Amino acid sequence: MIVAPKIRGFICTTAHPTGCAKHIADQIAVVKGRGPIANGPKKVLVIGSSTGYGLSSRIAAAFGSNAATIGVFFEKPAEADRCGTTGWYNSAAFENEAKAAGLYARSFNGDAFSDAMKAEVIEAIKQDLGQVDCIVYSLASPRRTHPKTGEVFKSVLKPIGSASYTNKNLNTGTGVVNEVTIEPANDDEIAQTIAVMGGEDWEMWIDALLAAGVVAEGTQTVAYSYIGPEVTWPIYKNGTIGRAKEDLERVQRVLDTKLAAIKGKAWVSVNKALVTQASSAIPVVPLYISLLYKVMKADGTHEDCMEQMDRLFRERLYNGNPQPDEAGRIRVDDWEMAPAVQALVGKRWAEVNTENFAELGDFEGYQSSFLRLFGFGLEGVDYEADVDVNVRVPSLA
C-alpha cells in the first residue's frame, strides 16, 4: 500500500516502514561518525526503547560501544490494511541494523509496568547476557495499571493551583499562534499523574533486577526529565508533569543508596526540549520549541534526540565527568538553557504572533522533525511507491 501521513491533532496515525528504517540508519550514522564511546556499556536494558530518547539511547549504546541491548516497548504491528506503529517499525529496523553489525538485540513488546514483563525480561537477561551494566528508563505512557493493586491511573497535563492558566500556543496543524486556557488539576489528577509518570515503576524495575542478581557491579541507571524556561513552568515544571518528575528525582536518590552496595549509580538526566510524540501533546511547548529551534540552529548548537543521547553517553555517563548540578542531575539541556539563548527566545516569545511567526520561529523545522518521527520526509525514500507494511521485529517473530 501507499502510506501517507494522516495527522489528527498532535499525533500522526500512520507510519512509513521504509521511512522509519531510513530514520534509524541516519541516527546510527550520527553515532558512527563520532567514533567509539570509550568505556561505554556492553549489556544494556532500555525500558521504553521504541521512540524518542529511549530509542536514541539504545542506538547510542549499540553503535557507540558495541553493546548488546534488550528493549522493552508497547507497540502494534500492521493489521489488514492498517500500518503498524512507528515504534514497531523503528524496533524492526534497529534489530535488522544490529544483526547486520553482529550485535545482540532482543525486544519485548507488552506492558512494561507489569510484573509479568519484568519477569520475562529478567529471564532473558539470565539466559542471554548474565547481567546488564546499564539500565535506561524512558517510558512515556498516558496510563498505567498498577501491578500490585490492578488500579488504572491516567496522567493529565495541567497546571497546579487555584486559577486557570492562559498563555500563547501554537496550532501545529495550521501554524496559527493563538491562546490556550487550561483549568488546574485537582488532587486526584495530581496523584494519578505521579503514579503514571513518577518514579515508582523505575524503582520496581531496579528492585526486581537487583533481587534476581542480574545487575552488574558498577551499573548505571538513568531516567529522563525536563525543566525548561519559566515560560513553560506553569504547564510543565510547576504542573502535574513536574510533580511526577519531582518524584522521579526522589526515586533517583533512593536508587543511589540501593546501588551503592554494588558501586552503581542512578541518574536523572535533564534533556533539551525536542519534538517527540510526548512533547507534541503538551500545550505551549510546541511554540517554545519552534522559537528555540530557530535560535539554536542559527547558533550552531541545535541537537536532535540522537545527538543528545550520544552526548549524554559519550561526555557525561561514561567519561568520568558527569558534571551534575546542585541537585545531582545531569544537564544536557545546558546549551538550551544558555543565558544568551534564553534571552533571545524570551524576547521573541513576547513578540510572536501569527503574522511574524514565520520570521521568529522555525515552524518548518518543527513540522519536519514531527513527520520524521513517523518515517515521513526523509531523503531517499520514495513515498509514492507501494510499501509492505507487514514488517516483523526479528526477535518477536
Active-site residue list: 236
Q: What are phi and psi of 331, to 5 degrees?
A: -120, 95
Cα end-to-end distance, the chain, whole Å: 22
| Among 266, 144, 250, CA closest to 210 | 266
Work out whether the CA dihedral 79, 83, 88, 91 comes out positive or negative.
positive
Q: Where are the beta strands (DSSP E) in 86-192?
A: 105-109, 132-137, 143-145, 152-154, 165-171, 176-182
- Rounded Cα distance, 127 and 129, in Å: 6
Give me Rg for the CA atoms of the chain.
20
Query: Do 233 and 242 touch, CB atoms closer than 8 A?
Result: yes
Residue 170 three-state SS: strand
Reading the block at residue 153, the C-alpha cell is 491511573
- Contacts of 388 by beta carbon, 8 Å cutoff, 6+ apart: 17
For residues 134 and 128, what is the distance between their CA atoms, to the nearest angstrom?
15
Considering only CA atoms, which of 11, 13, 14 is closest in space to residue 1?
14
* H, E, C per residue of 206-244: HHHHHHCCCEEEEEEEEEEECCCCHHHCCCCCCCHHHHH
Amino acid at 328: G
CA angle at 244 for the pair 40 and 367, rounded to the nearest 5°: 70
Say which residue the cell 531516567 belongs to: 223
- Provide the grid cell at 241: 508533569
Give the start-end residues of each E strand in 94-164. Answer: 105-109, 132-137, 143-145, 152-154
From CA 225, how far away is CA 230, in angstroms rounded? Answer: 16
Backbone φ and ψ for 358, nearest 5 degrees, come out as -60, -30
